[in-house]
Amino acid sequence: MNTVLDTVVIGGGAMGSAAAWELARRGRQVTLVEQFGPGHKFGASHGATRNFNPGYHQPDYVAMLAEGLALWDELEQESGEQLLARTGIVNHGPGGDLQEVAAALTGAGISAEFLDPAEAGERWRGIRFDQQVLHMPDGGQLNPDAALPAFQRLATARGAEIRHHTKVVDFLVFDDGVRLVLESAAGTEVVTAAQAVATAGGWTQKLLARVPGGVRIPKLRVTQEQPAHFRVADADAVWPGFNHYPGPDYQGWYSPVYGMQTPGEGIKAGWHGVGPVVDPDRRDFLPEQKQLAALQDYARQWLPGVDPDSFEAISCTYTTTPDEDFVLDRIGPVVIGAGFSGHGFKFTPVVGRILADLATGTRPAPAIFRASR
């Protein structure tokens, strides 16, 4: 069977779901295909918490933060669900460019204030602080497990088609469109479309490698990240989201550390982007013991509100570009959203808007995200 479509979104994680939502809101015919089922745990978009950390000073990211806060509010209103719990975010440590961050955020109308370690320790006694703390009240925790179904449900209500358990097994690009071969329980289907939006996470490089001649983007590094949920030891402690920049010499290459409270699961903490390189189709989902032991040592020293010996390990993936900036670009009839490098989830609805702009020819993405940079 040969099916003719307008726009096919490949990959139903956070960014693909947001792109489908935004395209459907614009009245575009959109079909999203996802190789796994709803709520799968093979990529980077599962789990109940992600930090909305406003700790940026680069102008493009600060603008996206402001837009993101508005779009998350809009999505909550449209879906009727709370997706962002504004617990605030505290960033501390000698790294992190905190003075520049504070100046950039306040200039953009996003709240930021400095607290001394003693005051911060009184407010958030589950965390140890040894120097000035940047508190960002507009930050908090997002819920991927609620957000992805909301994006997809709202996209479907506006006419989008969502197909789970549907894998792209061939991908051809022409001057005026694309041809995809899809496999699902229903069999094999050939699809032609005016364009494809590639949001395949850790599978992006594999997907684009199917295109004869290739589609050139920055090299993507897929790692298996291994945070953990630690049991709360201080039941009365109040927990913001936190990011600690202890400096390049702390635990060798283990730096920085992020964390937050996940209701019912404990305090999530993890290293940022230091897991082993993996093939996303051949992961073992097992924690690397040296890294896990170092995380426990970190919790003993810096998180007095948890029990460092009582935890549940977590497994997810990062797909990272060499400069840790995203890839958001259009090459012929292929729109690419990739390389969100462990800090992209907070921007999900903004990325969806940018991908929809690229797909509809409305406006280009910021230059820092170009594939040819």
Convert the pLDDT of each residue in 348-372 to its tens digit: 999 999 999 999 999 999 999 999 9
Q: What is the pLDDT of residue 95?
A: 85
Q: What is the pLDDT of residue 125?
A: 98
Q: Which of 320, 341, 356 is the last residue in one of the domains?
A: 320
Q: Model confidence at 3, in pLDDT bands (50, 70, 90)? A: confident
225-278 confidence digits (pLDDT tens) = 999 999 999 999 999 999 999 877 677 656 799 999 999 999 999 999 999 999
Tokens read off for 331 = 């090459």
Residues 133 and 235 in one domain: yes
Q: Model confidence at 299, in pLDDT bands (50, 70, 90)? A: very high
Tokens read off for 124 = 């958030």
Q: Which residues of 122-135 are buried (b: 16+ CB within 10 A; e: fewer)?
A: ebbebbbbeebbbb
Q: Which domain holds residue 23?
A: 2-46+146-218+323-369
Q: What is the sign, positive or negative, of the torsion defined by CA atoms of 29, 35, 39, 45? A: negative
Residues 132 and 269 in one domain: yes
Spatial separation of the C-alpha atoms in residues 21 and 12, rounded to whole Å = 11
Residues 348 and 310 in one domain: no
CATH number at residue 260: 3.30.9.10
CATH number at residue 168: 3.50.50.60
Q: Which residues of 343-368 are buried (b: 16+ CB within 10 A; e: fewer)?
A: bbbbbbbbbbbbbbbbbeeeeebbee
| DSSP symbol at 104 | H
Global pTM value: 0.97
103-139 confidence digits (pLDDT tens) = 999 999 999 999 999 999 999 999 999 999 999 999 9
Residues 300 and 171 in one domain: no
Residue 62 lies in a domain: no
**Taking a C-beta distance cutoff of 8 angstroms, is the pair 165, 96 a contact?**
no
Q: Tokens 């506006």 appear where? A: 158
Residues 110 and 210 in one domain: no
Residue 251 lies in a domain: yes
Closest to 136 (Cα-Cα) out of 89, 70, 103: 89
Whole-number percent of the chain with pLDDT over 70:
98
263-287 confidence digits (pLDDT tens) = 999 999 999 999 999 999 999 999 9
Q: What is the pLDDT of residue 254?
A: 65
Q: How many domains does the chain have?
A: 2
Residues 228 and 256 in one domain: yes
Spatial separation of the C-alpha atoms in residues 147 and 153, rounded to whole Å = 10
65-106 confidence digits (pLDDT tens) = 999 999 999 999 999 999 999 999 999 998 889 999 999 999
Residue 157 lies in a domain: yes
Residue 78 lies in a domain: no
Residues 206 and 233 in one domain: no
